[in-house]
């Protein structure tokens, strides 16, 4: 988060966690205006163009595909997939 907020021109407007309390805590700590406990809520926002996915490895593929299907640009930590069955 530090690098995104310090060294890039992107504006971080939302954070998502599977726990609303954790999302709220991270948003408060980093000055992020919106916090979500459900990724679908964030992906439904038309004003969000891109998402950065830094979930555990086993969530990369489903989270990444969900964001792509919602029409978002995606930057994802590697690996994107865990096996050949998850190739896009």
Q: 8 and 44, same structural domain?
A: yes
> According to the model, what pLDDT value does residue 88 have?
60
Q: 53 and 32, same structural domain?
A: no
Helix (H) or strand (E) holding 63: helix 57-69
Residue 69 bears catalytic tag: no
Q: Which domain holds residue 76?
A: 49-88
CA dist., res. 2 & res. 7, Å (int) = 8
pTM of the predicted structure, to 2 decimals: 0.79
Q: 17 and 55, same structural domain?
A: no
**26, 43, 48, 72, 83 from 58: Cα distances, Å:** 22, 20, 24, 20, 10
Q: 20 and 54, same structural domain?
A: no
Q: 58 and 40, same structural domain?
A: no
What is the length of the chain? 88
Model confidence pLDDT, tens digit, residues 22-74: 999 999 999 999 999 999 999 999 999 999 998 888 888 899 999 999 999 99
What's the domain count of the chain? 2
> According to the model, what pLDDT value does residue 37 have?
95
Q: 43 and 62, same structural domain?
A: no
């Amino acid at each position: 988060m530090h690098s995104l907020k310090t060294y890039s021109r992107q504006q971080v407007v939302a954070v998502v966690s599977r726990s609303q309390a954790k999302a709220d805590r991270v948003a408060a700590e980093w000055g992020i205006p919106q916090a979500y406990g459900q990724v679908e809520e964030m992906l439904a926002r038309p004003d969000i163009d891109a998402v950065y996915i830094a979930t555990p490895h086993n969530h990369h593929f489903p989270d990444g595909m969900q964001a792509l299907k919602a029409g978002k640009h995606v930057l994802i930590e590697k690996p994107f997939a865990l096996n050949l069955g998850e190739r896009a």
